[in-house]
A and B are shown apart, each in its own frame.
Chain A
Amino acid sequence: MTASEQWLDEISGHLSRFPMCRRRILDELSDHIRASSAELQAAGLAPAAADTEAVRRLGNPRTVAAEFAHQITRERSVFLTRTIGGTAFATVALIGLVPLLAVLGLYAGPTSDTVRLTPDSWYPTLRWLLLFSIGVMPPVALATVAFTAGRVFRTAVAITGAGYLFMLTAIFKNNWPPEWASIAAWAAFTLVAGTGIARRRKHTRTLPPRLAATTVTTIVLGATLRLAATGVPIPRNAPAVAQALPELATYFLAPIALLAFLSYSDARHAAVRLHEDGERSLSAEV
């Protein structure tokens, strides 16, 4: 084995944790060695000596691999934060926007003194959008939280998440769950999510504004769903919706907001952890 082959083999081993990036790095470095060796041979060195000198100038393969590892880890942590945090906020935005459109759509509808937001209302498209936003996005956020959280917390989230999904399936089938089921789901989710937030407090510097934003969104969504569940007629110019808001603020949709917030918080924690792992790897290997 030549000196360059040995060098490349060693750095390839050190970069085994990064299979996606390794090919590019090895191709670049082997091209570098070829160019360097060719220049040294042009200067009069024998091929083997040129090869040895070329890899000597590259430096210790462990050190070079550690620098690459540090860079790759840092890029991944930024990507993770953006992706998971983006998912969390997309969840909140979607579940907040759709019911607003539903309510506004109703007020723009047929002229009568009252309207009803029911599962059989003449806005089926909005209904499906609503069910999608509460049926699909929270499990997505749930999955991202499970990915980043510790094992015990992950198990608790999985159990409560399964119960929550079961309840949402019933809603999809136009079979609204009984009161006790939704309260139980809310209580379990809130307990788990609250525990997660408490554990991540050191990474929740922006807790108040995010919590406020998600709470407001939850209230709006909860109001819409409550009205849909009860079929209560909404007077066109009445504050009846506002009267339901206090109840809805404590309804089972609060965990959605906490879940979205928690997934963002966990994403930041995971990003910090990844970055710190990268820093430790660099210190250990250099």
Chain B
Amino acid sequence: MNTDAIRGHLEMLLLAALEPGEAYGYALIERVAARSGQAFELTEGSVYPALHRLEAAGDVQSHWERVSGRRRRVYKLTRAGQARLGHERTEWARFSYAVSLAVNPA
């Protein structure tokens, strides 16, 4: 499944990937891939603008860490992000149930 298929849900996927704990961008991409059973092939460059959007919206916050003498940006979920994730999970469950009903009529 390529990025176009999940474009509208990328932020939700990233928020869910941050739920276990903070992570930097590359690690988040790996978490998304692992949690989806390698079903998603994200265009990795799209993840960082999405993370910046989430930070601008207050759903995540980030800070710099020093790793081997270089800077690494680490992200973590905020309370607002946690609330948004809960809301999006509910919406997704409703949406996927409706789509299932529509494409698999009884």
Q: Are A31 and B53 in contact (CB under 8 A)?
A: no
Query: Given A24-B73, A27-B73, A31-B71, are A68 and B24 also a contact pair (CB < 8 Å)?
Result: no
Question: Interface-forming stretch among B42-50, B77-85, B92-100?
Answer: B42-50
In chain A, residues 29-65, which have Cβ atoms closer than 8 Å to a Cβ of chain B? Answer: 29, 31-32, 34-36, 57-61, 63-64
Tell me the bound Cα distance from A70 to B49 in angstroms. 9
Query: Given A28-B48, A58-B45, A59-B46, are A71 and B56 also a contact pair (CB < 8 Å)?
Result: yes
Tell me the bound Cα distance from A31 to B25 in angstroms. 9
Q: Are B46 and A27 in contact (CB under 8 A)?
A: no
Q: Are A28 and B73 in contact (CB under 8 A)?
A: yes
B42's nearest neighbour on chain A, judged by CB, is A57
Q: Are B45 and A63 in contact (CB under 8 A)?
A: yes
Tell me the bound Cα distance from A266 to B73 in angstroms. 36
Q: Is A25 an interface residue (CB 8 A)?
A: yes
What is the distance, in angstroms, from B52's C-beta to the closest C-beta of chain A?
5
Q: Is B72 an interface residue (CB 8 A)?
A: yes
Residues of A within 8 A of B72 (CB): 31
Tell me the bound Cα distance from A193 to B47 in angstroms. 45
Tell me the bound Cα distance from A85 to B46 in angstroms. 32
Q: Are B44 and A28 in contact (CB under 8 A)?
A: no
A64's nearest neighbour on chain B, judged by CB, is B45
User: Interface size of B by Cβ–Cβ distance < 8 Å?
Assistant: 18
A interface bracket (residues with beta carbon within 8 Å of B): 20 to 34
Q: Is A120 an interface residue (CB 8 A)?
A: no
Tell me the bound Cα distance from A58 to B29 in angstroms. 11
Q: Is A279 an interface residue (CB 8 A)?
A: no
- With most chain A CB atoms within 10 A of its CB, the pick from B26, B45, B73 is B45
Residues of B within 8 A of A74 (CB): 56
Query: Given A31-B73, A59-B44, A68-B48, are A36 and B53 also a contact pair (CB < 8 Å)?
Result: no
Q: Are B25 and A67 in contact (CB under 8 A)?
A: no
Tell me the bound Cα distance from A29 to B49 in angstroms. 11
Q: Give 13 A-B pairs besides A32-B44, A67-B45, A67-B46 with Cβ atoms closer than 8 angstroms.
A: A24-B73, A31-B70, A31-B71, A31-B72, A36-B26, A36-B44, A58-B45, A59-B45, A59-B46, A64-B48, A64-B49, A67-B49, A71-B53
**Residue contacts A-B, CB under 8 angstroms, 28 given:** A24-B73, A27-B70, A27-B73, A28-B25, A29-B48, A31-B24, A31-B25, A31-B70, A31-B73, A32-B25, A32-B26, A34-B70, A36-B26, A36-B44, A57-B43, A58-B44, A58-B45, A59-B44, A59-B46, A63-B43, A63-B45, A64-B48, A68-B48, A68-B49, A68-B52, A71-B52, A71-B53, A71-B56
